[in-house]
């Protein structure tokens, strides 16, 4: 039996024995409030997983089974679901071996801090609180709402600046006015991210994040989780989508960008602080990921910062002469 936000749980599988979900690292760009993207199927992130961010997912092609908390259901194009912070979920499409679709779904992800700031800045946005609270169990919207959401979310993929925010608000206006959205997981279901974090891959990712400045060897991480190097290498790539060394280098370069923006350390110091053992390798990896050298990247950031100062000074001169 389906139940609405004011009622209890939908059909569920309370006692199903499901493997521990993996932690998905959601990288919301520093200069954006939320992440909007799409992917096909099969795809590396299609697995039983969770993340602290809220997620709205719209299926645009294929049918199959989906899993939200302890709920299992069927999906088809137009399936629109919102999942709350740390709620495990997965969509598995019915495709023949070797088949592939370029776009299976549209995904919007945002963190709790963004929502809190939005509500504080715009009291009208407080209307979404009931929906956000219900998303702790997952919320399914009608196919009609899914159909109305599709053009909004598709436009969001390429929208820039204020248009992104306009579309974000339009989407939530649609969701809060939708007819009888349905809770998915049972009322008794409770997401437990602390317990999920005990799983092997999350232990590894946490260790990497805390030790970026140190030497990180695949053999040592394999030993940490009790696997051979070859088995660990396959396991790591299956869960992250990239080889171990590439994953670590990406995190180190991202950290280097933060230090370059602060302007307090020289490039050589940054190189060693983020875990590279020689400057030439650091420069090569930075160029590969960012398309320019660290020094040029810093110079462009300084130019960006200077433009704000120049604009402020120009405004001051204009006011003084007005």
Q: Which structural domains are found in the chain, ordered by start?
A: 22-183 (2.60.120.10), 193-299 (1.10.10.60)
Q: Based on C-alpha coordinates, what's the Rg of the chain?
A: 23
pLDDT category of residue 320 using cuts at 50, 70 and 90: low
Question: How sure is the predictor about 257, in pLDDT bands with cuts at 50, 70 and 90?
Answer: confident
| Strand order, beta sheet including 49-50 | 22-23, 49-50, 89-93, 64-68, 71-75
Mean pLDDT confidence for 177-182: 88
Find out whether 45 and 221 touch, Cβ atoms under 8 Å. Answer: no
Range 292-297 average pLDDT: 89
pLDDT-based confidence at 189, cuts 50/70/90? confident
Q: Would you state the pLDDT for residue 192?
A: 76
Q: What is the average pLDDT across 207-215?
A: 89
pLDDT band at residue 150 under the 50/70/90 scheme: very high
The single residue listed with the structure tokens 């050589």 is: 268
Q: Which two tokens stand for residue 20?
A: 């521990």
Cα–Cα distance, 153 to 155 (Å, whole number): 5
Residue 17 pLDDT exceeds 70: no
Average pLDDT over residues 42-49: 86
More confident residue, 237 or 174: 174
Whether pLDDT at 72 is above 50: yes
| pLDDT score of 188 more than 90 | no
pLDDT above 80 for 14? no
- Lowest-pLDDT choice from 134-143, 192-201, 235-244, 259-268: 192-201
Q: What is the number of helices (H) and of strands (E) in the chain? A: 12, 11
Q: Looking at residues 41-57, what average pLDDT do you find? A: 90
Whole-structure pTM value: 0.64
pLDDT of residue 279: 95
Q: Which of 13-22, 147-156, 290-299 has the least mean pLDDT?
A: 13-22
Lowest-confidence pick of 45-49, 134-138, 238-242, 285-289 = 238-242
DSSP character for 128? Answer: G
Closest CA to 84 of 133, 149, 33: 133
Strands of 54-59's sheet in order across: 35-41, 101-110, 54-59, 80-83, 139-141, 182-183
Query: What are the structure tokens assigned to 153, written together?
Result: 């979310």
Ranked by mean pLDDT, which of 190-199, 201-210, 285-294 comes out on top? 285-294
Q: How confident is the model at residue 154 (pLDDT cuts 50, 70, 90)?
A: very high
Reply yes or no on whether the pLDDT at 146 is more than 60. yes
Q: How confident is the model at residue 321 (pLDDT cuts 50, 70, 90)?
A: low
Percent over 90 (pLDDT), the chain: 49
Across 22-26, 155-159, 191-195, which has the greatest mean pLDDT?
A: 155-159
Q: What is the pLDDT of residue 18?
A: 43
Bridge partners for 82 per DSSP: 56, 139
Lowest model confidence (mean pLDDT) among 3-12, 73-82, 208-217: 3-12
Provide mean pLDDT across the span 250-278.
89
What pLDDT, on the 0 to 100 scale, is given for residue 222?
Answer: 87
């Amino acid at each position: 039996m389906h139940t609405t936000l004011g009622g209890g749980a939908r059909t569920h599988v309370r006692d199903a024995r499901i493997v521990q979900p993996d932690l998905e690292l959601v990288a919301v760009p520093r200069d954006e409030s939320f992440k909007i993207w799409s992917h096909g199927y099969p795809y590396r992130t299609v697995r039983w997983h969770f993340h602290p961010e809220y997620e709205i997912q719209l299926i645009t092609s294929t049918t199959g089974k989906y899993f939200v908390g302890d709920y299992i259901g069927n999906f088809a194009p137009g399936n629109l679901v919102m999942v709350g912070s740390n709620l495990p979920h997965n969509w598995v499409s019915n495709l023949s071996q070797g088949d592939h679709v370029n776009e299976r779904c549209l995904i919007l992800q945002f963190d709790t801090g963004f929502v809190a700031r939005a509500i504080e800045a715009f009291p009208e946005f407080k209307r979404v609180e009931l929906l956000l609270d219900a998303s702790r169990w997952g919320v399914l919207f009608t196919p009609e709402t899914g159909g109305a959401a599709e053009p909004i979310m598709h436009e969001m993929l390429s929208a820039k600046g204020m248009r992104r925010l306009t579309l974000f608000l339009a989407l939530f206006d649609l969701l809060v006015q939708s007819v009888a959205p349905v809770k998915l997981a049972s009322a008794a279901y409770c997401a437990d991210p602390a317990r999920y974090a005990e799983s092997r891959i999350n232990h590894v990712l946490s260790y990497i994040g805390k030790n970026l400045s140190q030497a990180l060897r695949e053999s040592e991480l394999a030993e940490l989780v009790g696997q051979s190097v070859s088995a660990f290498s396959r396991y790591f790539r299956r869960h992250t989508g990239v080889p171990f060394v590439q994953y670590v280098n990406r995190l180190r370069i991202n950290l280097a960008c933060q230090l370059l923006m602060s302007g307090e350390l020289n490039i050589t110091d940054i190189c060693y602080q983020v875990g590279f053992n020689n400057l030439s390798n650091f420069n090569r990896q930075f160029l590969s990921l960012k398309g320019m050298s660290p020094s040029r990247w810093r110079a462009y950031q300084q130019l960006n910062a200077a433009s704000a100062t120049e604009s402020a000074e120009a405004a001051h001169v204009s006011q003084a002469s007005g």
